[in-house]
Amino acid sequence: MDVLFHYSIAFLTSFIASIIGSIAGGGGLLSTPVLIFLGLPAPIAVATKRFGDLGGTAGAIKRFSSDKKIVWTVAWSLAIASLFGALVGAHLLLQINRELLQRLIGVMMLALCPFLLLRKEIGVMRTRTHPLAKGIGYIFYFILEAWTAFFGGGSGIFARYVLVSCFGLTLTEASATDRVAGLVLAVTAVIIFAMNRVIDYGYGIVLLTGGLLGGYIGAHIAIKKGDVWVKYIFTILVGIFGIALLIK
């Protein structure tokens, strides 16, 4: 009975987190703490959550692609950055003070809020960006994917902002396009975690199933509500998760 109850909690958590993640990012900040609360050691919780991400990401890609919201020319290049970020992330980030990096991301996220609110076109209309901005965007994206693969949650929100500001995508397009790179990252990380035998496949399959459904529904909501609505949700989550990273 306890196992069934725990699996039900895990399924519901993955479902809700994937809806949030498909709309604006940041769902990962919900899943990992719940798995730890359910009794999984932190490394296994992180690895198992990454396995479950395969479902949420696949569900979102299915829905976004059917409505042609994925900007594939950007998605493939980001997927390469994501692959290398996942592969070298452990070595790169072990050299950086994790707490300092976490707080730095929190400060940057809070600094985004006024910018998002004052510039009405950001995230709502496709804009043209300078090649230099795109180059900077690839660097930031690489670092964020390295962080996401092995340590942090919540970086999906910042990744969306990079796609909006550096690549000129709308927020819905950013959410859709980021999911392609997210799938590459999840597969790469899962292979590494599986080789080290730190995945709880019982919870993992439950998370994958809940994520598959939640990811599809979240993408559907984002498409139907439109970019203006997504921008409001995105701005609220930026503020919440920015504060959470600072006080964590």
Quote the pLDDT of residue 207.
94
What's the pTM? 0.74
- Could you count the other beta carbons within 10 Å of the beta carbon of residue 99? 9
At 105 the pLDDT is: 60
pLDDT of residue 94: 46
5: tokens are 């109850």
Backbone φ and ψ for 200, nearest 5 degrees, come out as: -90, 105
- Residue 154 CA: distances (Å) to CA of 17, 71, 188, 230, 240: 11, 22, 19, 17, 10
Q: Are 234 and 123 in contact (CB under 8 A)?
A: yes
Say how many C-beta atoms besides its own lie within 10 A of residue 76's C-beta.
Answer: 13
pLDDT averaged over 10-residue windows placed end to end, the chain, 248 residues:
85 88 70 82 81 87 85 85 72 55 63 61 60 80 73 68 82 84 82 86 93 89 76 71 66
Any idea what the Cα angle at residue 236 is, between residues 238 and 78, rounded to 5°?
Answer: 40
User: Quick one: pLDDT at residue 141?
Assistant: 81
3-state secondary structure of 59: helix
Do 175 and 22 meet the contact criterion of CB atoms below 8 Å apart? yes
